Amino acid sequence: MAIRKPTPAAARSAAMAEILAASEESKFKNGSLIEGTVSAIKGDDVFVDIGYKSTGTIGIDEFGEGAEVKVGDKVTVMLRELENDKTGMVVLSKRAADDKIRWEKILDRYVEGCVVTGTIKSAVRGGLLVQIDDVEAFLPGSQVEVAPVKELEPYVGQTFDFKVIKISNERRNLIVSRRELIEGQLAEKKAELLASLQKGEVRKGRVKNITDFGAFVDLDGIDGLLHITDMSWGRVKHPSEVLKVGQELDVMVLDVDRDRERISLGLKQTTENPWNSIQDRFPVGARVSGKVVNLAAYGAFVEIAPGIEGLVHISEFSWTKRVARASDVLSVGDEVQVVVLSVDVENQKIALGIRQTQANPWDTVQERFPVGSKIKGKVRNFTAYGAFVELEEGIDGMIHVSDMSWTRKINHPSECLQKGQEVEAVVLDVNPKDQRISLGLKQAQTDPWDEIAQKFPVGSVVKGKVSKIASFGAFIELEDGVDGLVHISQISDQRVEKVKDALAVGQEVEARVVKVDRGERRIGLSIRAMSMTEEEVKALASETSAEGTESQSASSAGGENLGGLSAAFDNAFANVEWQPGEAN
């Protein structure tokens, strides 16, 4: 059987049919837009002929509320499904077609970065919906203002310009920003303002923010720093003492750094420096009122006028009281009366005094405590060389150790006085300039040495207790608190190397008086003389009284030769370095 080949005409016809079939297939793809004709309306279903072998259906609600649809109307639809698995019909959507047409028009009308005008329609989660012509855009909450916004509802219904910052093809929406538009406008305004600022000019501003070191002031588009040191001519502990957020004020431009966009501002510079006329307003000696604004260990700072502070040193607090710390006397905020002591305009320093507002009690101290008068007071404190007695509040007198006893050598005031003890003394000297009063305790008593020579004649036997031991001898306390000295050479007939080997403090002893020197207030005693005859005692007393006797060597058998004993007594009494209980 022969095979017949197709003719050329038939081949061309078959090829054309294939092209037409392919064209039909490309036309009917899911998601494509197709123009169709309404062929029937049954209930809520609208049947549309799109030129396919079967018609498609669309819900009548997709035509919009109140829309009039009739057979024969031309309508653009989107093909959803060519053949539905359940019905076998074509699935179409007019709403999807309208959305796609609308979005394509939006893409033709808007580009990212363009500026549009819209009205805020409603608040939604995370931001606001904005109606721009027939397009609904989203405004994120972070893009409403330059500063964060807590409440979005007040913006609903307001119309603004916006910048399109993103066009989302996936979600088919616009994302807009009002913040970027404002920032751009502010940047332009800031650049213009920065270029126009000049040092020394005064500008109006508003306090935008307060920190510990100063405040940032908005100069209608650009911020400047107002440092705490440039807020007031006086002391400012914290900027909040002078300023508050939102406050409007005039400030002076102190410096402009255009490269770094930094501006330094001054508030105090807009007023006259009060230190320029300080000497006229507060001459030395003037008495003024002030408020304590700061305390230091060495004094108090007192504000006597806005921006003017002076220092009251602790030495200028009181004529009589010793002030250790300013806080012991004053507190911040106290109102005080002060006297101007000195003014240093160049260094902006004023020295003030509080005590100068009161009479100096030392000016009249000689009238209240004349020399020779007897006073009573309490022992307030000790030093190594004496005791301070309070005569009146803030006025002390001092009793030197040499003026405490007629009879005893006092090395420390605690040997005869106690703190808080009330004593009677005599005023020996008054020095108002150096604020010193010298007192005498023994001068308030009768001098027992007037009767010592009669009471303790040379050669007499006395009893007493060892009160002190020194390397050169022992002091024996006799009656009426009088001490006599037994030189180490007069303790025993035998040689004594150390006093403590022969005597002890508190030990009762008997001795003979071998020397009485009223002028030097000295009594020389001898224990070894107790075993001597009267003639030997007289000889010993004679030798200790003789002046200029040369020292001799000690004897080997009959005891120590007594030449030079007077000098030994004198040296022993003159020794002031010994301490109670000291022994050789």
Q: Terminus-to-terminus CA distance in the chain, angstroms?
A: 163
> What are the contacts of 378-381 at 24+ separation with CB within 8 A?
378/420, 378/421, 378/422, 378/423, 379/413, 379/417, 379/418, 379/419, 379/420, 379/421, 379/422, 379/423, 380/419, 381/419
- C-alpha to C-alpha distance for 503 and 318, rounded to whole angstroms: 54
- C-alpha to C-alpha distance for 34 and 37, rounded to whole angstroms: 10
The architecture of the domain spanning 361-444 is: Beta Barrel (2.40)
- C-alpha to C-alpha distance for 40 and 17, rounded to whole angstroms: 31
The structure tokens listed for 487 are 């030189």
User: Each residue of 417-440: pLDDT tens digit?
Assistant: 999 999 999 999 999 888 899 999
129, 121 contact by CB (below 8 A): yes
- C-alpha to C-alpha distance for 303 and 312, rounded to whole angstroms: 11
pTM, rounded to two decimals: 0.43
> What residue spans of 306-399 are helical by DSSP H?
365-368
288, 294 contact by CB (below 8 A): no
Q: From 475, 478, 477, 479, select the one nearest 488 (Cα to Cα).
A: 475
- The superfamily CATH assigns to domain 449-574 is Nucleic acid-binding proteins (2.40.50.140)
- The superfamily CATH assigns to domain 197-270 is Nucleic acid-binding proteins (2.40.50.140)
When pLDDT is averaged across residues 271-283 and rounded to a whole number, the result is 85
When pLDDT is averaged across residues 210-238 and rounded to a whole number, the result is 89
User: Each residue of 468-521: pLDDT tens digit?
Assistant: 899 999 999 887 778 889 999 999 888 889 999 899 999 999 999 988 887 777
- C-alpha to C-alpha distance for 141 and 128, rounded to whole angstroms: 7
Q: What is the CATH number of domain 274-357?
A: 2.40.50.140
- C-alpha to C-alpha distance for 481 and 195, rounded to whole angstroms: 97
Q: Which helix (H) or strand (E) holds 123?
A: strand 115-124
CB atoms within 10 A of CB 565: 25
User: Each residue of 359-385: pLDDT tens digit?
Assistant: 888 888 888 899 989 989 999 999 999
The structure tokens listed for 204 are 């109006």
pLDDT of 583 above 70: no
- Identical fold for domains 197-270 and 449-574, yes or no, is yes
pLDDT confidence of residue 498: 92
User: Each residue of 95-120: pLDDT tens digit?
Assistant: 888 888 888 887 888 888 889 999 99
User: Residues near 222 by Cβ (< 8 Å), separated by ≥ 6?
Assistant: 189, 190, 193, 194, 261, 263
Mean pLDDT for the chain overall: 83
Q: Is 280 exposed, middle or buried (0-12, 13-18, 19+ CB in 10 A)?
A: exposed
- C-alpha to C-alpha distance for 509 and 498, rounded to whole angstroms: 17
pLDDT confidence of residue 550: 36
pLDDT of 577 above 70: no
pLDDT confidence of residue 346: 84
When pLDDT is averaged across residues 195-210 and rounded to a whole number, the result is 91
The architecture of the domain spanning 111-182 is: Beta Barrel (2.40)
480, 505 contact by CB (below 8 A): no
The dihedral formed by the CA atoms of 572, 578, 580 and 584, expressed in degrees to the nearest 10: -80
When pLDDT is averaged across residues 114-139 and rounded to a whole number, the result is 90
User: Each residue of 68-86: pLDDT tens digit?
Assistant: 888 888 999 989 887 765 6
- C-alpha to C-alpha distance for 527 and 560, rounded to whole angstroms: 13
pLDDT confidence of residue 536: 82
Buried b (16+ CB within 10 A) or exposed e, 207-218: beebeeebbbbe
Domain boundaries, the chain: 42-109, 111-182, 197-270, 274-357, 361-444, 449-574
- C-alpha to C-alpha distance for 178 and 160, rounded to whole angstroms: 8
Report CA 21 to chain centroid distance, whole Å: 91
Q: Which bin fits 31, alpha (ψ -120 to 50), beta or left (φ > 0)?
A: left
pLDDT confidence of residue 568: 61
pLDDT confidence of residue 1: 40
> What are the contacts of 484-487 at 24+ separation with CB within 8 A?
484/456, 484/511, 484/513, 484/523, 484/524, 484/525, 485/522, 485/523, 485/524, 485/525, 485/569, 485/572, 485/573, 486/511, 486/525, 486/526, 486/527, 487/524, 487/526, 487/565, 487/568, 487/569, 487/572
pLDDT of 559 above 50: no
pLDDT confidence of residue 398: 93
292, 301 contact by CB (below 8 A): yes
Phi and psi at residue 529, to the nearest 5°:
-75, -10
The structure tokens listed for 293 are 């604004």
User: Which has more confidence, 571 or 320?
Assistant: 320
pLDDT confidence of residue 142: 92
Buried b (16+ CB within 10 A) or exposed e, 239-268: beebbeeeeebebbbbebeeeeeebbbbbb
- C-alpha to C-alpha distance for 458 and 453, rounded to whole angstroms: 8
pLDDT confidence of residue 15: 52
Place of tokens 């009122």: 289
User: Each residue of 287-346: pLDDT tens digit?
Assistant: 999 999 899 989 999 998 887 889 999 989 988 888 888 988 899 999 999 999 999 988
